[in-house]
Structures are given as structure tokens and as C-alpha cells.
Structure 1
Amino acid sequence: MASYFKDYADLCFESFGDRVKHWITFNNPMAIAVEGYETGQHAPGLKLGSDGAYKAAHHIIKAHAEVWDSYNKKWHGEQRGTIGISLTSTWGEPIDLSKKKDIEAAERYLQFSLGWFANPIYHGDYPEIMKDYIGKKSAKQGLASRLPVFSAQEKSYIKGTADFLGISHFTTRYISQKNYLSEELSYFTNRDLMELVDPKWPNAGSQWVYTVPWGFRRLLNFVKAQYGNPLIYVTENGIPEKLLYAQLCDEWRINYLKGYINEMLKATKDGVNIQGYTAWSLLDKFEWEQGYSERFGLYYVDIQYQNKPRYPKASVHYYKAIVEANGFPNPREVENWHQKATEVCSAMNQLLSAEPLTTHLEMVTEIVVPTVFTCILISAVLLLILLRKHH
């Protein structure tokens, strides 16, 4: 599969490389591996246990390296593009900084997610803590480690295969030590930890995204320290809402963007090499198994209509102001952005409130009017028949 994937990438480079200069081989490979090959929650829907997740990840990493190598040997000289991978990571904060076990559990949390893919790419092999924990868990069942092994040649080949690192980040978890007594070995139980959230953290209705801006800065500094301060593009950062109706005044998203972008800017002052940022996402879209129920968009998309009309939320105007200013100039101006965004979304909400009437008029046009004309036509035909009989 790694070879097939390289062939596919070569076709993309050949077809689009004169215009596309930034390439991401895989987006969120952890979700592909765990939810595609262990739990079966996502495509291809295979339930192969932790063996499936670790094997899938192993081949994803090798496929990524083959693509990077192919581009640099065959295409880079002419096209001058860059190749990276995009990894999704939540920040893990020890719930009790006075407990060594909680600090170690938080480290495992990060190494089993971000480090699982970043460590081979930047250091040539899986994190030692991953190899140690999975090996011990497997040995208890009299088995060899479920985590595949890179050969010496593969380690050398994979190491250094990224021109940039894409980081997708959404939220934070408190982490504590937890020993699983179950004999069932899974990616989740292998880590010996539990994830917790503070009920005081703001939440817009989603089950997993809580607004914790300070975790973003800590994650970015962790990447700097672990992987030699690589060039970073923030590929996804945003918050969804689970509302069944149009809510254009998305105050929670404005607060989220303000907090997270500000923490990212602090990270740049810490010396983290961040070169770009992407708010997630431009539009409401189909969100994995959540379908259209979880809305990440800066624009509200009304999916009930065939042409899918789009309406800007308040966060559109606020984010636009951040982009134009390239940050936050002063508190008074930022507050002015907030006020203007709220005024615009209020006006748009009034426009949307008229939609039911529009829908009713369309229904009358499409159903009632044709029915009336049909009745008139039938009546005219019957009258004509009666008149002929009478004649």
C-alpha cells in the first residue's frame, strides 16, 4: 500500500505541482489508524483491535516517507514545493502536578498521540515510552510486542522526512494515572491513564471540544522542545456547536478564536516557529459520523435547501478583522470588532427569521398554484362536454 500511495502522490505532483507548493501526505493519521482499523468507527470500518491500529499507523508512516523521498528526488528541483504531515493532538495536562504518576501519565498521553507519528519522522523511531508500555502489556499475554518494529534501514529512511509539521488542535484534557485490569488490550487501555475535563471550561454543546486556550501554547512549546523547533503550520483550530437551528451570533466561537489565536501568538514570542494558521472551518460541513449535526463553520450552511444557502456568522467578521490586523492591536479596537460583528449577525438573524414565510410562499407557488390551475382546467373541460351534450 505504501508503494501504491507513492504512485498516487506522483500523479498528483505531475498534475498539480506547478501550482500547489504545500503538500500534506496524511491528515490526522491517528484517527485513520485507531478508528478505521481498531474500533471500526470510521472507514474502512475494520475491527482488528490494537494490532490493526498499530499496523495501519506503521504503514502510514512508511508511505509518508516514500512520498517525501519521491518528491525530493523527482519533483522538488523543478517545482520547489514542500512536503509535510498534519497531526491532530489534544494537550494533556497532569491533574496533580505534585504526583509523579500523573506527570508521567500526561507524558504518555502526548507520546501515544502526537509522538506516535512525529517521533519516527523527526527521530527515526517510536517513542521509548510507547515501545516499553506496549511491549510489557503484550508480554503479560505471552506475546511479542503488538507495536511493529522499524528496521535500522527504515529508521534512517524515515527520519527527517518533513519540511513542515501540520498541527491540528482543538482542546485540552486533564490526565491522571489509571491502571486497567481488563485483559483486553487496546490502544486506549495500553496507555494506563484517564482523561478528565473541568466542568467550568466553556463548551458549545459538543461532547469533546472545551475552550481551554492555555493548552494550545503548551502544546506548541512541547513540539518545539521535542522535535527541534520545526516549521509549523496550524492546519485546524476551531470549535463546533450542536444546534438544530441557525445561530449566527456565535459568541462562543469569537471567544474561542480570540483566546486560542492569542495563545498561539504568545508561543511565537516563546520562539516557536509558526508560519501559518487556519481557522477550522470556513463552512459547516459533513463531520465524520456526526454528519451535519456538529457545525464548525464560520458560515452557516442551510442544508435543507438544494442550493445550500450560506450565511456569515458573527465570527466571520471578527476573524476577518484579526487577519487584516495580523493579531490584536489594542483592547479598544478589539472590542470594537466584537461590537460590529454582533451588529451584523443580529441583522442577519432578522433576515433569517423571515425564512419560514419565504418557504411558505415557495410551497404555495409549487403546490397550491398548480393545483388551482389544474382544477380550473378540469372544470373547463367538463363544462365544454356538458355544453356539447346540451347542443
Structure 2
Amino acid sequence: MGFVVAVVFCIVVSESWSLQSLTFPKEFKFGVATAAYQVEGAWNISDKSESTWDRLLHTHPSLSDDGSNGDVACDSYHLWRRDIEMAVELGVDMYRISIAWTRLLPNGFANYISEDGKRFYNNLIDGLLEKGIEPLVTIYHWDLPQSLQDLGGWANPLVIDWYSDYARVVFTLFGDRVKTWITINEALVICDGGYGKTWVPYIDDMAIGGYLCNKHVLLAHAKAYRMYDEEFRPLYHGKVSISNVFFWYEPETPEDEEATKLTIQMWEGRYAHAVYSKAGGWPPEIEKFLAANSKREGYPTPRLPPFTQEEIDYVRGTYDFYSLNYYTTRLVRRVKPEEAGSWIFYGNKELGIAIVNDPSWPMASFDWFAIHPEGLRKVLHWINNTYGVSNVLITENGLPTYDASLYDFNRVSYIKSHLEQILLAIKDGINVIGYTAWALMDNFEWLSGYTVKFGLYSVDFTSPNRTRTPRESARFYSSVTRTRSLNTTRHGLNYY
């Protein structure tokens, strides 16, 4: 990681905008988010078993930037009441959490349900509802039971049944109170990261394992969705989707336009086209491109495993809204394969591209994180034009920084500028139904450890109480949720 670059920029709102145009629709929902491994801690409390993240970072602590892990994290397993208080202080409509598979099903299988795990999530869900906050629940956010990884994990087709059995337990236990579900978070990171040796399970096998994973997560999602649709929706009337991370891509030069279109399909299409498109299956241009690569390399069958027609029909349409995680925009440059960066953030040797930054855009802490709010509006238009989905829920958006200061005006500006782009998209006719800020508080930021801060609340990780303190961004966000407006001068604040 490089040194942090402080980014402070202003939002200029057109004078033609009226006060009303700065106001969100009354049905628009504001939220915040966390994930189980990043905040819960209590990694071996009660009968909880070992996850892939536990195994990786206990075995190879040097993989995280500060040698840390999520053993304690924010200790939300014990401090969940304070987390709910923070959500109340922010005035949000929803709080996105995830269930830890290993906490609920210690064996990985549905033959044994942990009473302590069940009690913890019941308390958290009930506590949110008592305060009028909707629990938005992710069933799987990257923490696979290590016992299942030892059996092949997401590269094993049996994982489709393992996951659906787990999802059935979750729906059965919590479906009477949880009305919005995310089946799987950012499958691209699970597969391209996990089999590109940048994420758990930290395997260098993108050529085969990564594409097997790609197909299996889509089938697992579809099986959970079909199960909910047939068995639980008639009872509880909830909504289900899969969450995709979608960085916007633009060509560095006009000569890079075709490579950019292919990059978007490689990044987003492989994990969304099968679900959201009318045709279903793999994006045709990607399927054709990878089949040609496989044939040239001497493989008897495509490395991207084809869908049968039955599978295409099974996966297609398994959504109730588009769940979008958006953070940044990058430029695509066509290069020779030997010059291509490693996937995920820097390029793709398979496509022969490099991912670069526009020098005119401000940069955040990561060298892959350019700040370009307009990219969010472009993503929303692309989703609308490509799939014609009726509802888009933004389930993650936030700014990383190495700066732990409480006066995070850079994060205020980032959130505000992206909310402005959402208002513009709504004005364009796109039905964006909500926005979820990442993250409620500083937490264990995966392989960055505790060096990177995403939180609206600062967390003192040296304190046994993991003291949470609101940042300026928390104050700003609470002003937006309460006024439902970006016109913050109404209540004595001015961030323009």
C-alpha cells in the first residue's frame, strides 16, 4: 500500500437545481452496512467453527498489511447494542449485516444449528426492528467454513447444495422478520480474487478454479432464490437478490473502446448477465472470447464451463432488485498480454488489458481507487439500458482512508457527491430505491487489516470496549437521513 493522499473536494450543485430537486423521494431508504467477519470478532466463542479467513490469517498473518486478523475486530458479537444505537443516531432506515455461516452452522452443514449463533442473530434482528430499523441481511459475505473449503469450496459443484441448505436454515429462522435478502456478496471477489491469489482461499488457479467458482455461485444464488420464491415468499413476502460490485470502466483512448466493453462484461457481465438479462447465460462476447482462448491453449472444452439450457432458464430472472456495490471508475488500456496487470484491480492477462487511472481524478488511499462520482450515474444508466431492471438498491458505497481523524471532510464530500449523482439518475427516470453507506464504523478491512478506515464512526481498536466515536461524516449523513435532502444549510451545516 502507498501513503495516503488526503482528498478534499467541493461539490458544486447547478444553480438551476431547486430545493425540491435536492430532496430524495419519500420512499427512498438510507442505510449503513457491515459484514460479520469484519466486525463480530468472537471467532472461537461458543461452538463457532473456523472460517477460511480464520485459517488464512492465522496461518499466514503477514498477508494482512499490519499482521492482524478479525479475531476480535469491533467485538460486535458482544457490543451489538451499541451498533444499533449508532444506527439510531444516524437515523437510517436499514442496517445491512451478514450472517456468519460458521457461527450459525458450525459443521458447515444443516444437521446442527448453534443455539448461541441463533440467539445472537435473533437479538440483533429483533433489536433493530424494535428501533424501527429494517435488517438488510446478506447470507454469505466471504466467510466460508474451512471444513467446506477442504472439500473443494466454491470450485466443487456440491457447494450449490451446501449453500442452499444453509440458506434454507437462514430463511427458516429469520424470514418472518427479514424482508430484504442478499444471497451472495460480490461473487467476483470470491472467485476472481480467491482463485487469483489475492483473496481467500488464496489459490492461484483463475484459469480453471475461478471459472468453476463463477458458475457455481450463480447456480447457488439461483437455488436459494427459487427456494425462497416457492416456499418462503408466500409466507413472508420478502425480496431477494445477489450483490455485484461494479466499477465503471472507460477507454483511455478511442482505440480502447472495444476492450472496455469486453472489460465491463468480464467484470460485471459474468456475474450478472445470467441473472438479469432477458437471454440469460454468459455474456455472448465473453463466452466466445474465452472459448477461443481455451481452444488456442489446447483445452478440450472451454475453461468457462457452459450453461445448459435448463441452467440458463433456472438462473435467469432470479432477482427482485439489482443490488449494486459501487466505489470507483477506472480507465482501460489495451496492452500486450505480458504487460497486462494482475486481475482484479490492475488489469487482466486474459483480455490483454491494463487498468489505469485518469490523472485528472482525485485519488483515495488505494492506488486503484480513483474518485469519480459521475461513474455511479453512468453505471446506473448502463444497468437500466442493459437489463431494464425496475429497482436498483445501492448496497455499498464509501471512501477508504489511512487517516483516522474525526474530521473526515473528504468522506463527507465523497458521500455527498455520490448522493447527488443518484438524485440526477432518479431525475433521469432510473428507480434507485435506496443507498447504503459503507461502513457504519471502522472495521477489519480484509487484507488491509486495521490500517484502512471506511467508517462513519471511528473505532478505538486499542480499547477493550472498542469505543465508537462519530466522525463528521456521521453527522453529515444523519443530517441527510433526517431531512432527506442534500440541502444541508437547512440545519446549520454547509458542505458546499
**TM-score normalised by L of structure 1:** 0.81
TM superposition shift of 1:205: 2.4
Contact 1:177 1:193 in 2 (8 A): yes
Alpha-carbon displacement from aligned partner over 1:168-225 (angstroms, at most 9, x marks no partner): 0001101122231589998821122221112332223233222111111001110001
Aligned to 1:196: 356
Contact 1:133 1:190 in 2 (8 A): no
Q: SS at 2:242's partner residue?
A: strand
**Identity within the alignment, %:** 32
TM superposition shift of 1:9: 0.6
Aligned to 2:17: none
Contact 2:196 2:343 in 1 (8 A): no
Q: SS at 1:191's partner residue?
A: coil
Structure 2 residue corresponding to 1:25, chosen from 167, 172, 183:
183
Aligned to 2:221: 64
Residues 230 and 192 of structure 1: CA distance in aligned 2, closer, same or farther (over 3 Å)? farther
Asked if residue 274 in structure 1 is aligned to residue 447 in structure 2, the reply is no
For 2:284 and 2:485, how far apart are their aligned partners in 1? 39
Structure 2 residue corresponding to 1:254, chosen from 391, 404, 412:
412
TM superposition shift of 1:338: 3.3
Tell me which protein shows more helix as a share of its residues.
1
Residues 337 and 154 of structure 1: CA distance in aligned 2, closer, same or farther (over 3 Å)? same
Contact 2:340 2:352 in 1 (8 A): no
**Larger RCO of the pair (alpha carbons < 8 Å, separation 6+):** 2
Question: Is there any run of 5+ residues in structure 2 with no aligned partner, and where?
Answer: 1-158
Aligned to 1:122: 276
Which amino acid in 2 is paired with 1:102?
Answer: D
Structure 2 residue corresponding to 1:265, chosen from 419, 423, 441:
423
Number of residues of Structure 1 aligned to a counterpart in Structure 2: 332
Q: SS at 1:119's partner residue?
A: helix
Aligned to 1:375: none
Q: SS at 1:131's partner residue?
A: helix
Q: After TM superposition, list the pairs within 5 Å mapping 1:219-238 onto structure 2.
A: 219-238=379-398
For 1:49 and 1:174, how far apart are their aligned partners in 2? 23
| Root-mean-square deviation over aligned CA pairs | 2.1
Q: After TM superposition, list the pairs within 5 Å mapping 1:100-249 onto structure 2.
A: 101-123=255-277, 124-143=280-299, 144-181=301-338, 188-243=348-403, 246-249=404-407
Aligned to 1:321: 479
TM superposition shift of 1:234: 0.2
Range moving further from structure 2, 135-144 or 311-320 = 135-144
Aligned to 1:5: 163
Q: SS at 1:338's partner residue?
A: coil
Alpha-carbon displacement from aligned partner over 1:346-388 (angstroms, at most 9, x marks no partner): xxxxxxxxxxxxxxxxxxxxxxxxxxxxxxxxxxxxxxxxxxx
Contact 2:340 2:349 in 1 (8 A): no
Alpha-carbon displacement from aligned partner over 1:84-110 (angstroms, at most 9, x marks no partner): 0110011001222xx2x4111111121
Question: Is there any run of 5+ residues in structure 1 with no aligned partner, and where?
Answer: 340-391
Alpha-carbon displacement from aligned partner over 1:125-165 (angstroms, at most 9, x marks no partner): 11112112211222221223211100011111111011111
For 2:436 and 2:184, how far apart are their aligned partners in 1? 17
Range moving further from structure 2, 205-214 or 20-29 = 205-214
Contact 2:322 2:389 in 1 (8 A): no
Contact 2:273 2:281 in 1 (8 A): yes
Which amino acid in 2 is paired with 1:82?
Answer: K
Which amino acid in 1 is paired with 2:182?
Answer: I
**TM-score normalised by L of structure 2:** 0.64
Larger radius of gyration: 1
For 1:313 and 1:186, how far apart are their aligned partners in 2? 34
